[in-house]
Structure 1
Amino acid sequence: MQQAPSLTELNDRAREIFRQIVDAYLASGAPVGSRTLSKGGGLGLSPASIRNVMQDLEELGLLAAPHTSAGRLPTELGLRMFVDGMMQAAEVSDEDRAKLESGLAPGMAMEEALARTTAALSGLSHCAGLVLVPARELIIRQVSFVPLSPTRALVVLVGADGSVENRLLDLPPGVLPATLEAAANYITTRLAGLTLGEAAQRLSTEIARDRAALDALTQSAVSAGLAVWSSDAAARPVLIVRGQANLVEGQMDMDRVRQLLDDLEDKAELIRLLDGARGAEATRIFIGAESRLFSLSGSSVIAAPYRGNDGKVIGVVGVIGPTRLNYARVIPMVDYTARTLSRLAS
């Protein structure tokens, strides 16, 4: 995508005209004409003078002229420059804070906290709410190893909820079918009722205290069997989308809304996009074609990571909507929601 020009490339007059056009567009969604700015913008300039500046801004790629109107709209490039360099972020109001925290309490299950905060965030922002969370670990009921070759086995995990999943496992050298049977028996009898993470921790503790009563090969088989599931679970985050109906309300361009709703069905691509916000120290904003997924619908994503008590990122919370968002209000709101979830998780 083309780089936005620097603010220093615009003189004071151009910056003020551009700012007023963006503000008016974000408020109304309609193209902004030179006559409107001349009458109500307090610029003290004629429509002809304003049109000349608008033409310059268009040549820089910051504005575009719809075919059906003499007015101008900010481009995605223009919105990026506005958000990065001109926007004055608002404080989250006491009323909005109260709504975002409504019904939350210390010790509340994280799933319930996520449901309540993302529903509130979706309603307040008039967008769809997004939350990316790690896959919930299964609780072990039974594990079995099925030898496939001297170096590979199939690990079958039966969860406490009755679900059955399997994964291929590369075996350490020298592992025999009897070793795999002993490993399966150990997991099923000693680690049933635990999550994968808890099971790995107990195994480590029992080995350290010499209480596992397992030979070295069996220990390695048990460790490898648990590890293949744990790493797999961590690599499969879960995406929850709420409030899609908010995307329809008050929108004039229904073709773009329909395209956005179709885009939201591509969960894998959306997960990849949100995963890019996991390593961010602050809120991330993706505008339109900056994301391949939303290049057609012209949508924006605002997302921020939330953390656990160890400071590590647990997941990502955010919103998605048309590029005509009230960025000054919604960006701080997403940031506040992420900080609220971090406090609850600590």
Structure 2
Amino acid sequence: MTTPPITELTERTRDIFRSVVEAYLESGQPVGSRTISRASVLGLSPATIRNVMQDLEEIGLLAAPHTSAGRLPTDLGLRLFVDGLMQVAEPSDEERQAIESQLSGSGPIEQALASATAMLSGLSSCAGIVQVPKREPRLKQFGFVRLSDTQLLAILVGEDGSVENRIVDPPPGVTDATLAEASNYLTRHLAGLTLSSALAQIDGEIRDRRQALDRASADLVRQGLATWSLDGGDRPVLIVRGQARLLDESSAADLDRVRQLLDEIESEEEIARLIDSAREAEATKIFIGSENKLFSLSGSSVIAAPYKDSAGTIVGVVGVIGPTRLNYARIVPMVDFTARALSRLVD
């Protein structure tokens, strides 16, 4: 079934439909005609409203759960509301400042992204997600520490402040002097290069016998760089924060759905593929319930927006995951603001 054009609905029908959806998004419960009659300024009787709600059910915009006489919007109904009837509310000054405050500190970009995502999760009462830009760190310092005769700790410090450690097996003939020589060479000659560039340079120097290192030191340098280069494709590219916020008071009556959603969130590869589809969007993209196969069982929604680097290239996506009864009018512009704030942060 496709969403009927908003122009096919009469003004009265649109007003009643909007009232039902807004009441549902606020309470999370099916909405009855008497509730709409009491709360709205339409001046219509419950019987008139009930008839219109019946019409909306017949065209697939509302549904009546068997446990209640009230109605709630279907995924099609929510899509029609979001695309044609929703009036967005811009983030407040306090919300803007809260998000931007998480992006003002120094340190690795992953830390800022995680902090901003956690803040977005708190403000929206959803799980926050962000896709980390795929980029190689540039070397600032590199060193080796001996752990035992058979193990070394390789320490990489990036120009962005990131620090990573790896356990490596030392090649034959490595002494403490070899460790110092290899560490000094890496920091002095390869600082400022990406991992792949540094590895290519040392390979060329070894091949042409141009490096100022003995064989043991050269092998150690190459092994240390290769440790990071080989697992570059496995670096985490998705940060999820605030899953616990999905277990609010209103979820108590629908724990099976929430458990299903939490299980789905654990599938980071599938979520990454989903939000990656928002990279080409010109603005915030909304996936509602069964529109997306991943969340069709839990009946959940995703609101996501791409963010860019200083060259205007899309490098990631930020957003939230939550139940379909999200406050779309408030959260959509909040996600959009967060994406724009991240765009100012990324080089």
Give TM-score, length-normalised by structure 1. Answer: 0.75
Instruction: Give the distance between the partners of 2:241 and 2:50, measured in 1 at CA.
Output: 42
Find the counterpart in structure 1 of residue 322 from structure 2.
Answer: 321
SS of 2:43's equivalent in the other structure is coil
Change (3 A) 1:64 1:284: same
Number of equivalent positions: 293
Instruction: State the 1:239 CA deviation.
Output: 1.2
SS of 2:248's equivalent in the other structure is coil
Find the counterpart in structure 1 of residue 15 from structure 2.
Answer: 16
Instruction: Give the distance between the partners of 2:75 and 2:190, measured in 1 at CA.
Output: 53
Residues 1:162 and 2:199 are matched in the alignment: no
Instruction: Give the distance between the partners of 2:306 and 2:233, measured in 1 at CA.
Output: 16
SS of 2:130's equivalent in the other structure is strand
User: RMSD over aligned Cα, in angstroms?
Assistant: 3.3
Instruction: State the 1:64 CA deviation.
Output: 0.2
Instruction: State the 1:250 CA deviation.
Output: 2.2
Change (3 A) 1:163 1:302: farther
Q: Give runs of aligned pairs for residues 1-346 of structure 1, distance below 5 A.
A: 2-105=1-104, 108-135=107-134, 137=136, 160=156, 161-162=165-166, 194-199=193-198, 233=232, 238-252=237-251, 253-346=254-347
Instruction: Give the distance between the partners of 1:121 and 1:345, measured in 2 at CA.
Output: 18
Instruction: Give the distance between the partners of 2:133 and 2:231, measured in 1 at CA.
Output: 11
Change (3 A) 1:308 1:193: closer
Instruction: Give the distance between the partners of 1:326 and 1:86, measured in 2 at CA.
Output: 13
CA contact (8 A) 1:305 1:317 kept: yes
Structure 1, unpaired ranges of 5+: 142-157, 165-187, 215-225
CA contact (8 A) 1:137 1:196 kept: yes
Find the counterpart in structure 1 of residue 150 from structure 2.
Answer: none
Instruction: State the 1:133 CA deviation.
Output: 1.1
CA contact (8 A) 1:139 1:159 kept: no
Instruction: Give the distance between the partners of 2:328 and 2:155, measured in 1 at CA.
Output: 44
> In structure 2, what residue type is equivalent to 1:35?
R
Instruction: State the 1:112 CA deviation.
Output: 2.4
Change (3 A) 1:29 1:137: same
Instruction: Give the distance between the partners of 1:53 and 1:191, measured in 2 at CA.
Output: 71
Instruction: State the 1:162 CA deviation.
Output: 2.5
Find the counterpart in structure 1 of residue 172 from structure 2.
Answer: none
Give TM-score, length-normalised by structure 2. Answer: 0.75
> In structure 1, what residue type is equivalent to 2:60?
G
State the Cα deviation string for residues 53-78 of structure 1 (Å, max 9, x = none).
11110111100001111111001110
CA contact (8 A) 2:114 2:239 kept: no
CA contact (8 A) 1:302 1:319 kept: yes
Find the counterpart in structure 1 of residue 182 from structure 2.
Answer: none
SS of 1:251's equivalent in the other structure is helix
Change (3 A) 1:97 1:287: same
